[in-house]
Structure 1
Amino acid sequence: MAREEVMIAAVGTLLLGACHPAEIAPHDAGAAAIARGRDAARRLGCGACHAMPDSAWPKGRVGPALDGFGDRAMIAGQLPNDPVRLAAFVRDAPALVPGTAMPAIPMRDEDARDIAAWLQSLHEQ
């Protein structure tokens, strides 16, 4: 096969894969982890950039609103929304998505896991 044919086949495979929606990892965190994650998100100031459900203030508008985050298949439009990737993203987004506007946020591993659990528990009403 010529190099051009290989490249065309590879691009075709990628395009066909894009036709299938990404699967959302099942949410299986407990209520305590979800509550800790909500509290950690408030404590760490996520509301400065994101509108957060059940939070009257602040209502950040720099990043996307977090309502319904658990229904989203992708993180930042680029990564599958699963608990491990989401925890890594909330802690150090630029390491996973270079050029993102979201900064690295100093936090404990437990906070990152709990925030990911909380975010994945948020579903459209």
Structure 2
Amino acid sequence: MKLPRRLWAFGAALGVLPAGVVTGCSSVSPPPPPQSHQGLPDRGAELISRYGCGSCHTIPGVNRADGLVGPPLTRFGARSYIAGELPNNADNLRRWISDPQSVEPGTAMPNLGVDTIDAQDIAAYLQSLD
């Protein structure tokens, strides 16, 4: 059976297409991640206990973190916003943890005197909850 010339050309083009697609994908480097994930999540969980965050929030994986005053922090890493004010990313979360009043004056979230390193580790733990 003899194939018409157009059909043969189409088939030949399809045969080459996968090789071109694979080659094209391997030569393009992936984009960088949208944010860096610095901090020590395990230490963050310990700090959450130490600072008493669980007296106001329910936080999975943290002992006695079953507070009902503030919002539950379940699946925090999958949320879009922090306190309805800031896009949820590591830098904004560190800012919120360190000085919530500067983000939302009058918020019920107290300023607990969390230093930069502790805020980074707490943020790393909360971002891991997705």
Q: Aligned in 2, Cα 1:40/1:27: closer, same or farther, shift over 3 Å?
A: farther
Q: Assess if the C-alpha contact under 8 Å between 1:27 and 1:121 holds in 2.
A: no
CA RMSD, 1 decimal: 1.9
Contiguous gaps of at least 5 residues in structure 2: 1-32
Please say if 1:76 is aligned against 2:61.
no
How many residue pairs align between the two structures? 98
1:90 corresponds to which residue?
97
Q: Assess if the C-alpha contact under 8 Å between 1:52 and 1:59 holds in 2.
A: yes
Contiguous gaps of at least 5 residues in structure 1: 1-24
3-state DSSP of counterpart to 1:86: helix
Please say if 1:65 is aligned against 2:72.
yes
TM-score normalised over the length of structure 2: 0.68
Q: 1:105 aligned to 98, 112, 120, which one? A: 112
Q: Assess if the C-alpha contact under 8 Å between 2:48 and 2:122 holds in 1.
A: yes
Q: Deviations over 1:37-80 (max 9, x none)?
A: 11111111000100110245241101011110000010001111
- Decide which structure has the larger Cα Rg and report it: 2
Q: Deviations over 1:67-116 (max 9, x none)?
A: 10000010001111111110010111011111211011112210001111
Listed as ranges, the matches of 1:10-21 within 5 Å are none
3-state DSSP of counterpart to 1:60: coil
Once the two structures are aligned, what percentage of the paired residues are identical? Answer: 43
Instruction: Give, as a single letter, the amino acid of the residue that structure 1 aligns with 2:57.
Output: H
Q: Aligned in 2, Cα 1:34/1:56: closer, same or farther, shift over 3 Å?
A: closer
TM-score normalised over the length of structure 1: 0.71
Q: Aligned in 2, Cα 1:55/1:35: closer, same or farther, shift over 3 Å?
A: closer
